[in-house]
Structure formats: C-alpha cells, structure tokens
Amino acid sequence: MLITIPDLLSPGQVQAIRSKLDAAEWIDGRVTAGYQSMLAKDNMQIPEGHPVAQQVGELILQTLGSNLLFISAALPAKVFPPLFNRYSGGQSFGTHVDNSIRHVKGTSHRVRSDLSATLFFSAPEEYDGGELVVEDTYGIHSVKLPAGHMVVYPSSSLHHVRPVTRGARVSSFFWIQSMVRDDGERTLLFDLDNVTQRITAEEPSSPNAVRLTGLYHNLLRRWAEV
Ligand code: NI
C-alpha cells in the first residue's frame, strides 16, 4: 500500500527547515548506499549525525508520533533517524530496492525496513523531474507532492527518482519497522481501522462499533510484534 500523509509539516515549519538544510554541509549520497544501489545513486546528502540532521530529524519524529494517519497506516515499532537528500543538475536515483536492515550509525540499533518514507521540502514548482516512481502489485505510481507532505510505501517495492532537470529537489527519507511486517496484513488493519472510526463517529454507542473495534484489536494482537 502506498499512502500520502498530507500537511505533516506546516508551510512555516517547511520554510524554517529549508533555511537550515540549505545552509548545512552536503556530501555525496553514495555514503549510505548498498553495493548495488551505489551504482544507481547520484545525489547529495547531509552526513548522518550532522547537528542539523539530528535537530530536524527529531522534529520529524515528534510530528510523526502525533500523526494519527501515519500511526494507523504504518503501525510503527521503530523509525530510522531521518536522512536528507538533494537532487539537482540532472541527478537521479535509478531503479533499486532499499536494504532490508539499516544500522543506525554509531549505535548498536538496527531497523528492519518494512516501509520507506519520503517527506518533501521543495514545492513541485521549484523543480522539473524528480518524481519518485514506485512499482507495486497495483501498478506504477509517480509521486511528486507539495512541500510538507510525505509518502510511505513498502520497502520491498522497486523504485527510482527521475532526473531533476531544473531547480533542486530537497527531501527527507527514512525507514519504518512496523509492528506488522506483512504489507497485506497491515493494509487490512488500516482499512478496518478507517471503517471502524467512521462507524464509531456516526453511532458512538452502536454494538457494531464495539464489535469492529474488538475485531481490529484481536487481529492486531494476532499479527503484531512489539
Ligand atoms: Ni530507495
């Protein structure tokens, strides 16, 4: 399932973050690529552990922690500290699959990448190209979102970023280990949660709302690892 989280950050937050990111140090993005994706990857990144990356990353994590749509869709167990990349001057990232296990630099922490996220910091009008193209079982999705919006998609998907031929595309990217590792099970839970919330809003004391909530939690109990 590919899902868009709109307005994760406000325009004011995006603007403040962009000034910090634009003034930070940028290095060759191949530092965090695996052997195969190193051949496909051509972009710039802020070094892992850079103070700006840590500060903005912390704000993103806090915001995610209170975003109900993200929590319902991702059922997050762990989130990798956000990284930041920039594509300009024809840079692109060819077709690849993200590494399955990510080590958090300088720690013993590991995150299994069940979901990949891209949070956009450039408005679509600022650059040409730069679409994130994700191939999944339901076809090919081309994603280019307003600044402050985020896309989350299964890390098992083949994906690429099209060349940026004008301007610059700045974004944050990171991975999520979900309490429910299987994408099909997680999608069923998300759909069930949505229906349950709608029915509960319409008829708060309805026995059906209680039963649906029970069904949701009993499936989550069966499928979740915590
Ligand atoms: Ni990737």
Q: 60: CA distance to ligand 1 center in Å?
A: 19
DSSP secondary structure string, 103-159?
Answer: EPTTSS-EEE-SEEEEEE-S-GGG-EE--EEEEETTEEEEE---TT-EEEEETTSEE
pLDDT in 10s for each residue of the chain, 226 residues: 999 999 999 999 999 999 999 999 999 999 888 888 888 999 999 999 899 999 999 999 999 999 999 999 999 999 999 999 999 999 999 999 999 999 998 899 999 999 999 999 999 999 999 999 999 888 999 999 999 999 999 999 999 999 999 999 999 999 999 999 999 999 999 999 999 999 999 998 889 999 999 999 999 999 999 9
Residues near 130 by Cβ (< 8 Å), separated by ≥ 6?
A: 87, 122, 144, 161, 162, 163, 164, 169
Q: Was domain 3-178 assigned CATH 2.40.30.160?
A: no
Q: 133: CA distance to ligand 1 center in Å?
A: 10
Q: 160: CA distance to ligand 1 center in Å?
A: 7
State how far the Cα of 190 lies from the Cα of 180, in Å rounded to an integer. Answer: 11
Give CATH 4.10.860.20 domain extents, the chain.
183-223
Q: In Å, what is the CA distance from 30 to each residue of 46, 53, 140, 163, 193?
A: 11, 17, 25, 16, 39
Q: 13: CA distance to ligand 1 center in Å?
A: 25
pTM higher than 0.85? yes
Give CATH 2.60.120.620 domain extents, the chain.
3-178
**Coil/strand/helix, residue 166:** strand
Q: 63: CA distance to ligand 1 center in Å?
A: 22
Q: Which CATH number fits domain 183-223: 4.10.860.20, 3.20.20.70, 3.30.70.100, 3.10.20.30?
A: 4.10.860.20
State how far the Cα of 118 lies from the Cα of 2, in Å rounded to an integer. Answer: 11
Q: 5: CA distance to ligand 1 center in Å?
A: 18
Q: 69: CA distance to ligand 1 center in Å?
A: 22
Q: 97: CA distance to ligand 1 center in Å?
A: 6
Which tokens sit at 206?
Answer: 């309805």
Q: 45: CA distance to ligand 1 center in Å?
A: 13
**Assign residue 33 a region: left if phi > 0, alpha if psi is -120 to 50, beta otherwise?**
beta
